[in-house]
Structure 1
Amino acid sequence: MKRRTKQPNPVFAGLGRLRIRVPAIARQQARAAIARRTAGVTFAARLAFENVDHFYGDQQTLRDVTLAAEPGEVLCLLGPSGSGKTTLLRIAAGIEPLARGRLFLNDREIAGPNTHLPPERRGIGLMFQDFALFPHLSILDNVRFGLTALSSSDSKGEALAALERVGMVDYAQNYPHALSGGEQQRVALARALAPRPAVLLMDEPFSGLDSRLKDSVRAETLAILREARATAVVVTHDAEEAMRMGDRIALLRDGALVQLGTAEDLYHRPANIFAAGFFSEINVFECRVSGGVAQTPVGPVKASAFADGSPVCVAVRLPGIEITETPCGVPARVVARRFLGVEELITLVVAGGEKPIDARIRAGQLRSGARDVSVTVNERDILVFERNG
């Protein structure tokens, strides 16, 4: 009988994207392992940060952060570079120490003034931004890597079950170089879920994927997390990605928590001008309130919640600016327009305005060559904030 040979190490050239499918018996083993489970991949836990501070040298990177990921919830940490998102993840994983505050897994303190549970004893999984697959190990062995407490046969069964869950069991004998970026991402997810962590941490998990692939892989990953009933904390700098994935979103800036809530909360009721600008493109007008009204270049805006003379920032979302050639609003002139497929980005100057404003309208809505137009604003796309709020 001819023996099956193991795939050569990927350093050898000429293998390209050759894929070796596993025998049907391996798929049967994977499905049997899943069938034996009675509670999914893991028992989801609550991960809570309480008054957390952190420093890199003299620079404070986290400032009194208190928030929690509830059991089975997908919590997205959102913010610009340097806002402290990844530092929070590293503290949760046990890679970074706390300067002040405490960290709880359910009701158990795992980090604090007198506590620091080692990473391997926390029951917390970490999925790296670049997937961090070992190129010299097969896909199966990559997934088995963290299952050191199990016997060889048990670890193989668990790894095959994890690969089956992400739709990659057929490629268990392949090596990472033979897989696409999306397939490598699914293998990395399988490896993170195989030990059944109480909480899964994901650091910018889709940043290395092209835009067309990102949407499908993100949807697949979310479905797997739901099916696995895992608590997940996902770091991203993309507001749309956070809204697509997160049950709740924690918005960070300069190491501080700006706002915590659902996507609807943060979009419709942003805490300040920073939050408003992070979730949508906006035009910002600085003015003062008089008689419960703020006068802006695009017309008067209700500001009855503010005292007369109060300095305010009025934010107007770009889709909320409506443009017509019929005289029925504030006169304006088109100075630039950019076709973006479904939409057009229009730049205008308005009478009395100190700087141009932008609007997004449906492509074809405004006649080609139109210059002199009128502008009105949809009230639902107007937000008013205290000037320094």
Structure 2
Amino acid sequence: MVAASATARVTAGVSFAARLAFDRVSHEFSPTAATLHEVSLAAEPGEVLCLLGPSGSGKTTLLRIAAGIEAQTRGSVLLNDREIAGPSVFLPPEQRSIGLVFQDFALFPHLTILDNVRFGLTALSREEARREAMISLARVGLEDYAGSYPHILSGGEQQRVALARAIAPRPAVLLMDEPFSGLDSRLKDTVRAETLEILRRSRATAIVVTHDAEEAMRMGDRIALLKDGRLVQLGTAQELYNSPATLFAAGFFSEINVFEARVEDGAVDTPLGRFDAGGLADGTSASVAFRLSAFDVSQTHGEIPARVVSRRFLGVVELLELAVPGADRLVRARVRCGALSNPNREIWLTVRKPDVLVFERTQEST
């Protein structure tokens, strides 16, 4: 953890947060190989914005365009409403006041930790650069390692050095490309929490790329969900989880069971019951999604009979696969351990309606 004493004594080196905006940004390697399609979104001053999506969704390309490593095909990038990349201007990376933390940390093995951190402070004198680098190392709790070399540090400590190097020039915006992907799951939680605390203290606007929905919810003030180079939805974690715009968004934030249905009298009928169609017109083909958390189970009473086909212990919860009358596939459910106290396979289900989501069926749904 970052030392409390270091936190208390570091008072300099705070960034002036900026607004970074993408205005209808497109990118393509060839006329038939587009990676981004008119993406418009903005990271507000001091905000942590997470770019979330599967591999190939355009997250890293958008980050590289912001950093100036890649040029967009169309559209503009603006920093505090000033165009830094567009049809008539393209500022090089060193003139953008934008820091970048790479996925593999990219530390120089032949340089000390101090020299790694002050590497980009070329505009300062040697003594000023040393002072700023030590301030950054103190902010991440590693000032005692200034004279050491990267190979003696753990993965989490190397990640913090990379972060210290990125914030040393006091960037207005900090970009992070899947910064925790190389860490084991136990260390990841700790380093992620430390990094978020450092970002809050440095006050820089931050854009973090991740493919992990839980990580995005833990870190982001807002989340931009991308798919196939398009912005699917932008909002807070609560907004994207509780009110997903598409079936893809629903499935990205939670595991779901999906049934196809047709809207009749404002409702949809499924093997798990009849539910409000959410305003879809009668006759519309619909996809009805049930989160795995949508089910209460009982061995004595409920709405729907079911038979337990498989049961996996996962610690706090159990993962069930259930055969339900009228369903042509098994229904998956996550239930609290102990909810089913004996091995009897015949049970009852009750569905929680807030965990049922209805979408108009599209080609994507199929």
| TM-score for both structures, normalised by structure 1 | 0.90
Letter in 2 for 1:85: K
Name the % identity.
66
SS in 1 for 2:312: strand
The aligned counterpart of 2:102 is: 128
Query: Which protein shows a greater Rg?
Result: 1
Q: Is this contact kept in 2: 1:31–1:164, CA < 8 A?
A: no
Contiguous gaps of at least 5 residues in structure 1: 1-26
CA displacement at 1:31 relative to structure 2: 8.5
Letter in 2 for 1:47: L
SS in 1 for 2:158: helix
Asked if 1:332 is matched to 2:276, the reply is: no
Asked if 1:189 is matched to 2:163, the reply is: yes
SS in 1 for 2:226: strand
Letter in 1 for 2:209: V
- For residues 360 and 66 of structure 1, the distance between their equivalents in structure 2, rounded to whole angstroms, comes to 37
The aligned counterpart of 1:254 is: 228
The aligned counterpart of 1:52 is: 25
Say which of 237, 261, 266 aligns to 1:287. Answer: 261
Q: Is this contact kept in 1: 2:305–2:346, CA < 8 A?
A: yes
The aligned counterpart of 1:12 is: none
Q: Which runs of 4+ in 1 moved over 4 A?
A: none
Letter in 2 for 1:113: P
Contiguous gaps of at least 5 residues in structure 2: none
The aligned counterpart of 2:197 is: 223
CA displacement at 1:312 relative to structure 2: 0.6
Say which of 117, 135, 138 aligns to 1:164. Answer: 138
| TM-score for both structures, normalised by structure 2 | 0.95
SS in 2 for 1:308: coil
Deviations 1:222-256 (A, max 9, x none): 00000010100000000000000000000000000
> Across the two proteins, how many residue pairs are aligned to each other?
358
Q: Is this contact kept in 2: 1:41–1:194, CA < 8 A?
A: no
Asked if 1:180 is matched to 2:170, the reply is: no
- For residues 137 and 162 of structure 1, the distance between their equivalents in structure 2, rounded to whole angstroms, comes to 17
CA displacement at 1:327 relative to structure 2: 3.7
Deviations 1:7-65 (A, max 9, x none): xxxxxxxxxxxxxxxxxxxx99x998x44x3xx52111100000010012330000010
Q: Is this contact kept in 1: 2:247–2:359, CA < 8 A?
A: yes
- For residues 161 and 50 of structure 1, the distance between their equivalents in structure 2, rounded to whole angstroms, comes to 35
Q: Is this contact kept in 2: 1:286–1:311, CA < 8 A?
A: yes
SS in 2 for 1:113: coil
- For residues 249 and 137 of structure 1, the distance between their equivalents in structure 2, rounded to whole angstroms, comes to 36
Letter in 2 for 1:349: A
SS in 1 for 2:263: strand
Q: Is this contact kept in 1: 2:133–2:165, CA < 8 A?
A: yes
CA displacement at 1:125 relative to structure 2: 0.5
CA displacement at 1:368 relative to structure 2: 3.5
When the two chains are superposed, the root-mean-square deviation of aligned CA atoms in Å is: 1.5
